[in-house]
Amino acid sequence: MIFTNLKTEIQDSILILTVSRPEKLNALNKATMDEVSACFKWVEQNENIRAVIVTGEGEKSFVAGADISEFLEMNGPIGKLLSKKGQDIFFQIENCTKPVLAAVNGFALGGGCELAMACHIRIASENAFFAQPEINLGIIPGYGGTQRLTRLIGKGNALELMLTADKIDAQKALQIGLVNYVVSKAELLPFALKLMAKIVAKPPIAVAQTIAAANKAMHPDGYEVETQNFSVCTASSDFREGVMAFLEKRIAHFTGS
Ligand code: COA
């Protein structure tokens, strides 16, 4: 699919989605957010895509936040709409049935950090920085950040980041569980592709059901969803194949059915 502010490339069933407004450090303006939404609709429909890696153009920035130049028109009601729309688009990513990994290659600030957190897994290059600096503008994270950051790194760490606006480097992000790995700039994409290739080899129904159940962690109906999704998996051919392959001491061949 062709976009203005996104670049897409499919490598071995893995879509590399690059946010590309390098002159604005890949800030998410409205047009880019609409494209992200359209892109994830396409991902769901496209059978040739089994996983997604989200990254940013250039070596300096993953995404430097929502586009602040569009903030001047904001007032209470418009702010509410903007936040709701941003949340809905990031829910599309979080609820994607295919695994989504953020390869954070520089600044992940504000909406950029929120974008990375909407992805299922995060890895960072050594030059990555994370922050939720919204408070400096007199606002709060509005694309799901107050919730996802608190779930990922705990309330104390999350409130410190949101209330101070401090930038943390990749090592600190690793230490508090915001990212799973820190690798060199050169290794970021190869490492991300290798990790996703491992997941792409797994049975797709079970992958999708795992993501959906994990998304319900900390929700009151989480255990119920786990049972329901477990039963969906046990009805699949890939489940039979996985069990038979183990018993017959051979490699399983999954078909996604
Ligand atoms: N929204 C809109 N434009 C942005 C942006 C954002 N979030 N972040 C960076 N840009 C633009 C700058 O305005 C500048 O544009 P210009 O060349 O037309 O003036 C360009 O990107 C390069 O940024 P610049 O500030 O010159 O780079 P820097 O290396 O000096 O600083 C940052 C980098 C990331 C520290 C700085 O750009 C910054 O603080 N950005 C805002 C981060 C933020 O608060 N994000 C959360 C928003 S809720």
Let me know if 47 is a catalytic residue: no
- Provide the percentage of residues in the chain whose pLDDT is more than 90: 91
Which member of 9, 35, 114, 126 is catalytic?
114
For 65-77, letters b (16+ CB in 10 Å) and e give bbbeeeeeeeeee
Cα 107 to averaged position of ligand 1 atoms, centre (Å): 10
For 206-219, letters b (16+ CB in 10 Å) and e give bbbbbbbbeebeee
Least confident of 62-66, 197-201, 232-236: 232-236
pLDDT beyond 90 at 54: yes
Q: Is residue 189 part of a domain?
A: yes
Ligand 1 atom 32, closest CA: 64
Cα 26 to averaged position of ligand 1 atoms, centre (Å): 9
Q: Please, which pLDDT band fits residue 65 given cuts at 50, 70 and 90?
A: very high
Cα 25 to averaged position of ligand 1 atoms, centre (Å): 6
Q: Which domain holds residue 154?
A: 6-200
What's the pTM? 0.96
Let me know if 226 is a catalytic residue: no
What's the mean pLDDT in 10-19?
A: 98
Q: Is residue 183 part of a domain?
A: yes
The Cα–Cα gap between 141 and 156 comes to: 16
Number of structural domains in the chain: 1
Task: Give the sheet arrangement for strand 121-125, strand by strand.
Answer: 6-11, 14-19, 51-56, 100-104, 121-125, 181-183
Mean of per-residue pLDDT scores for the chain: 96
**Quick one: which atom of ligand 1 is closest to the CA of 60?**
29
Q: Is residue 92 part of a domain?
A: yes
Report the pLDDT value the prediction gives residue 15, as an integer from 0 to 100: 98
Q: Please, which pLDDT band fits residue 1 given cuts at 50, 70 and 90?
A: confident
64 CB under 6 A from ligand 1? Answer: yes
pLDDT beyond 90 at 244: yes
Q: Is residue 14 part of a domain?
A: yes
Q: Is residue 257 part of a domain?
A: no
pLDDT beyond 90 at 186: yes
Residues 13/48, Cβ–Cβ less than 8 Å: yes
Q: Is residue 211 part of a domain?
A: no
Q: CATH number of the domain that 101 lies in?
A: 3.90.226.10
Q: Is residue 247 part of a domain?
A: no
Q: Is residue 41 part of a domain?
A: yes
Task: Give the sheet arrangement for strand 168-169, strand by strand.
Answer: 61-63, 107-109, 129-131, 168-169
